[in-house]
Amino acid sequence: MKYLKVILLAVLLISCHNAHKSRDYQAFSVAKDLYLQGDSQGALEKLESLEKENPSYLLPFNLDGRISLFTGQYERAEEKLTHVLKHSPLDFEAIRWMANLYLLTKQYEKSEKLASIALEKYPEEPRFLLLLAASYKAQGKVKEAVVTYHRAYLFEVELAYAHYEMAQLYSQFGLEKEYKEQIERASALSERRIHE
């Protein structure tokens, strides 16, 4: 009987925890929807409330950082993204937007360092390659910028191939419209490569 009470208590605690997580995600979804509808201020207010309620829930801080970045609130963006990186140092989105923030605020060495760290975890990720190349370019490191831009540029070939393969799948299922769209995308990428 004693073990049954312990098990029931554990189940109750887990249920409460999951309900809290679900409630947090619902509140986050509302904030995200506000942002997507063009209400950045409403989204930020909702996110701020959620952040105070549960500082260990990082999604609101991440979105808050992005919205703040896009609305020119750079100090706020840095504060929110720093919070995410403090708790999750290799968070893909936080690194990406923090590196962008550093580029916008002309902190090029910081952007370079962050993009380099990200590439250790996410090797050959084109978005981090582009951030690293932009950081090099802004610092006048022309050789490094060219090499890094070239590494990012090579992903166009893989992207064209992906469109071609998707077209083949669509063709197999008789989806002609989708097939043509994918072939056009693959061709556009291939054409661009030929003319450059």
Q: For 69-110, what is each residue's pLDDT tens digit? A: 999 999 999 999 999 999 999 899 999 999 999 999 999 999
Domain tally, the chain: 1
Most confident region among 15-19, 27-31, 131-135 by mean pLDDT:
131-135
Residue 29, domain CATH? 1.25.40.10
Q: What is the pLDDT of residues 111-155, one digit of tens each?
A: 999 999 999 998 888 889 989 999 999 999 999 999 998 888 787
Q: pTM here? A: 0.71
Flag whether 28 is in a domain.
yes
Q: What is the pLDDT of residues 31-81, one digit of tens each?
A: 898 888 998 899 899 999 999 999 999 999 999 999 999 999 999 999 999
Domain that holds residue 69: 1-88
Flag whether 66 is in a domain.
yes
Alpha-carbon distance 38 to 21, whole Å?
A: 26
